[in-house]
Amino acid sequence: MKRIISIMLAAALIISAMAGCRTEDGEEGGTARIGISMPTQSLQRWNQDGANMKAQFEAAGYVVDLQFAGDNDIPTQISQLENMIATGVDVLVIAAIDAFSLGFVLEEAVAKGIPVIAYDRLIMDTAAVSYYATFDNWLVGALQGTFLRDALDLDNAEGPFNIELFTGDPADNNIHFFFGGAMEVLMPYIESGKLVVPSGQIEQAQVATPMWSTERAQERMENLISAQGYGPTGTPLHAVLSSNDSVAQGITNALLAVGYDADNFPLLTGQDCDIASMKNILAGHQSMSVFKDTRTLAAQVVLMVDALLKGEPVPVNDTEIYDNGVKVVPSFQCVPVFGDINNYVELLIDSGYYTMDQLQ
């Protein structure tokens, strides 16, 4: 039954992709072209996002121009967008590297009447963004903070517990939500002294990780280890908040290098359920992650683009949260899900996201 429904849905989308598209001179006809701009190929999630969107748009009858901006290279992303605009795509779907650097190029899209959908990361300071498709980013942080609160049993245990904090790229608007959502849970315990941040680094700007880089996170963790004397026989480190998996992987590397192992590993959060982090979770070198099913987000974007091209109401479920400095962008937030060693089989294997072999 499910299969029949998806075939019917794909067929309906193909018909609308053919019908809903404009030619250069504004007449109906041909097949609509979707320009998809992803930030990097060096992080697993964006490869998956790109591949899922390409497959789902093509299955719905669209033509896709999918580009990855080298390894988070802002000028490359801008020139790829210029090229897509020049070749006359019908819609742009963009995961920005730098939320603040696309305003100028997007003016060209506006001039050509090309709608822009911000993908996963909000594009800031421009009226050119029509819609935003993402996950509930505050909830991502809240899941991480709640996990640490419960795993340390902060409401009952005597403590105090030592924690260090890490978030992501300062040019990614999402970190306000990830870090904000986690700190909303943790801050009362920091204020009461139950949780202690020995480095004193608790401001978002102090704990940011440029480009979400594993290496930069590793370096910062190494510095914290030397400054505070953390180690299995040194100053206790009970927990590390990390906003995502690429950052968590750098933290894990630094902690392993000073002798932590599965028996005494500090609690460590993440996000994305990257393969490398899932392996760390299975080895006891990371505690949890947050699963954001890129298939769901891709499917949502296909629905949004389809409605947009047909001139129908675009499905959104939020019209208040995501203010980009110029306007509140109508958004669809998908639901992120807690993932760890106890539920990964159901979440990732049974759902067909990974095979067990990939996690060995």
Residues contributing to the site for ligand BGC (CB under 6 A): 43, 45, 120-121, 168, 172, 174, 212, 244, 246, 271-272, 292
Task: In angstroms, give the least distance from the CB of 246 to ligand BGC.
Answer: 6
Task: In angstroms, give the least distance from the CB of 21 to ligand BGC.
Answer: 30
Give the orientation angle of helix 245-257 with respect to helix 275-282, to 10 degrees: 40
Name the residue nearer to ligand BGC (CB basis): 95 or 195: 95
Q: Tokens 């005597």 identify what position?
A: 158
Name the residue nearer to ligand BGC (CB basis): 140 or 185: 140
Give every CB contact of residue 151 below 8 A, 6+ residues apart in sequence: 239, 267, 287
Give every CB contact of residue 184 below 8 A, 6+ residues apart in sequence: 141, 142, 145
Identify the CA nearest to 339 among candidates 293, 283, 298. 293
Task: In angstroms, give the least distance from the CB of 253 to ligand BGC.
Answer: 17
**Nearest-CB residue to ligand BGC?**
244
Task: In angstroms, give the least distance from the CB of 272 to ligand BGC.
Answer: 5
Name the residue nearer to ligand BGC (CB basis): 33 or 292: 292
CB 177 within 8 A of CB 120: no
Name the residue nearer to ligand BGC (CB basis): 244 or 333: 244
Name the residue nearer to ligand BGC (CB basis): 220 or 292: 292
What is the C-alpha separation between 314 and 267, in angstroms, rounded?
41
Identify the CA nearest to 292 among candidates 272, 269, 274. 272
Identify the CA nearest to 216 among candidates 245, 256, 246. 246
Name the residue nearer to ligand BGC (CB basis): 38 or 183: 38
Task: In angstroms, give the least distance from the CB of 175 to ligand BGC.
Answer: 8
Task: In angstroms, give the least distance from the CB of 315 to ligand BGC.
Answer: 20
